[in-house]
Amino acid sequence: MRRLECDVVVVGAGPAGSLAARTAAEKGTKVILLEEHPEVGRPIFCAEGLSLSGIKDAGVEPEPPIVCQEISKARVYAPDMNFVELTSSDWRGFTLNREVFDRALSENAVKAGAELMTSTRVTDVIKDDGTVTGVKAISKGEPLQVRAQFIIVYTRAKIHTI
């Protein structure tokens, strides 16, 4: 079994996970970013829209191929179909190509110093005396353990009830 150690392990290389990994790596910590799929950004689970400031805060430029189109207003619906409309004369928003956007964010995390491991599915957490100290995974068909001081999980999968 392969064993790794780092300061921060991030599970899931979607936007939140990649941004967390980049931020931690920029602070000088050793970061491992785990993604269950062979490629970041695929498959696409949902569409995305962001304001101009949201795109810039993510560390990417609001231009093709990341940006699909500019929008001047958006409606955000609740499950009961009530909605909030976002619009203003000085507000700019964009629809995004999630595949390209997600990949750009993970590349920025790697440029900041994070190690990205694709085809790595987390299966459980590691506990020592009741404290979570890492994750167990299958990486390219092989068992893997990653121990870390901080574990950040951004995934749709159920790993373990902590």
pLDDT tens figures, 39-83: 999 988 777 888 888 999 999 998 999 999 998 888 889 999 999
Task: Answer whether 46's CB lies under 8 Å from 69's CB.
Answer: no
Q: What is the pLDDT of residue 156?
A: 61
CA separation for the pair 83, 31 (Å, rounded): 39
For the chain, domain boundaries: 2-43+106-153, 49-98
Q: Tens of pLDDT along 11-47?
A: 999 999 999 999 999 999 999 999 999 999 998 877 7
Q: Assign residue 12 a region: left if phi > 0, alpha if psi is -120 to 50, beta otherwise? A: left
Query: Helix or strand or coil: residue 23?
Result: helix
Give me the sheet containing 67-71, strands edge to edge: 49-51, 93-96, 67-71
**For the residues 95-123, what does the mean pLDDT come to?**
96
Which CATH code for domain 2-43+106-153?
Answer: 3.50.50.60
Task: Answer whether 135's CB lies under 8 Å from 126's CB.
Answer: yes
Q: pTM to 2 decimals? A: 0.87
